[in-house]
């Protein structure tokens, strides 16, 4: 398996534009996590899914952020409209089953909003 | 709610020496798991070691070992015979069992290895 695949690796956009980040989890994994990493806040969990169903979105900063998982092999994180303070590295991770198993991370998307 | 605290924003160690990174956590769950992840400059998150809370024996993976003190809710990482390739950001994480499978991270410790 190629691991967790995120696209794009880098994204530069202007304030007010819509941004969509994409994630393909490892095949067979039933948990998918979206994290945001900044210097100030570290790694924050935004939302996670189990079997394509959102379980906890309490980490989503505001209504401008939304996430979907239409099927087991694809998830998106959308920011509309984007703001400069959204600039961060966004990670997607997936895991199979039990909570003691390893979560595998993608390479992250570095988002810059100017 | 889970919280994970890493009190050392930065640490440094001489090559071949030993260093210990600190982590404390708080959880209301009785069944949980603890992890250390490494993030080198490539940005990739790599699992270093994991510990099940119900196991009293400290986990060990080659040069990496943990000191798990359940009563104190402490989970420190010891790196022996430090190598230049160990230089990275290290994150402590906790993952509760039960109905809550969140993986919560600390803010990280940046480790520098001096030749």
Query: Searching chain B, which residue's CA lies closest to the CA of residue A89?
Result: B43
Q: What is the pLDDT of residues A43-87, one digit of tens each?
A: 999 999 999 999 989 999 889 999 999 999 999 999 999 999 999
Please answer yes or no on whether B50 and A93 come within 8 Å at the CB atom.
Answer: no
CA distance B31 to chain A (A): 10
Q: Please indicate whether, in this complex, the C-beta atoms of B102 and A45 are within 8 angstroms of each other.
A: yes
Mean pLDDT over each residue of chain A, to the nearest integer: 94
Q: What is the DSSP string of B55-80?
A: --SPPEETTEEEEEETTTTEEEEEE-
Contact A113, A90 (CB under 8 A): no
Which of B94, B101, B104, B108 to probe by mutation at the A interface, max A CB count within 10 Å?
A: B101
Tell whether the model's pLDDT for residue A112 goes beyond 80.
yes
Which residue among A41, A103, A108 places its CB closest to the CB of B103?
A103
- From residue A46, alpha-carbon distances to A56, A108, B15, B48, B73 in Å are 8, 14, 37, 23, 25
3-class DSSP assignment, residue B86: helix
Find, in chain B, the residue whose alpha carbon is nearest to that of A57. Answer: B102
| Inter-chain residue contact A99 with B47, CB threshold 8 Å | no
- Best mutation target among B1, B34, B43 (most A Cβ atoms within 10 Å) is B43
A27-36 per-position pLDDT tens digit: 999 999 999 9
B92's tokens: 């402590």
Q: Which of A43, A88, A91, A105 has the highest number of chain B CBs within 10 A, making it the mutation to test binding with B?
A: A43
Share of chain A above pLDDT 90, in %: 83
pLDDT in tens, chain B (115 residues): 678 999 999 999 999 999 999 999 998 877 788 999 999 998 999 999 999 888 889 999 999 999 999 999 999 999 999 999 999 999 999 987 555 567 889 999 999 999 9
Residues of B in contact with A45 (CB under 8 A): 102-105
Q: Does residue A104 have a cis bond before it (omega within 30 degrees)?
A: no
Question: Mean pLDDT across the stretch A89-99?
Answer: 88
Residue of A nearest to B42 (CA): A107
């Amino acid at each position: 398996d190629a691991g967790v695949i995120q696209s794009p690796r880098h994204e530069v956009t202007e304030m007010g534009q819509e941004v969509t980040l994409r994630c393909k989890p490892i095949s067979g994994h039933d948990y998918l996590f979206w994290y945001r990493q900044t210097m100030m806040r570290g790694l924050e969990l935004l939302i996670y899914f189990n079997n394509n169903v959102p379980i906890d979105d309490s980490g989503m900063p505001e209504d401008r952020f939304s996430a979907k998982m239409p099927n087991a092999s694809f998830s998106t994180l959308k920011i509309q409209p984007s703001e400069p303070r959204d600039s961060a590295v966004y990670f997607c991770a997936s895991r199979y089953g039990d909570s003691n198993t390893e979560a595998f991370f993608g390479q992250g998307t570095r988002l810059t909003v100017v | 709610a889970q919280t994970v605290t890493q009190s050392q924003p930065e640490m440094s160690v001489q090559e071949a020496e030993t260093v210990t990174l600190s982590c404390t956590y708080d959880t209301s769950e009785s069944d949980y798991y603890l992890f250390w992840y490494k993030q080198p400059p490539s940005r990739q998150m790599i699992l270093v070691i994991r510990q099940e809370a119900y196991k009293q024996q400290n986990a060990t993976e080659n040069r990496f070992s943990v000191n798990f003190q359940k009563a104190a809710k402490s989970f420190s990482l010891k790196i022996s015979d430090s190598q230049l390739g160990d230089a990275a950001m290290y994150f402590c994480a906790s993952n509760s069992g039960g109905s809550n499978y969140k993986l919560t991270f600390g803010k990280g410790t940046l480790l520098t290895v001096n030749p």
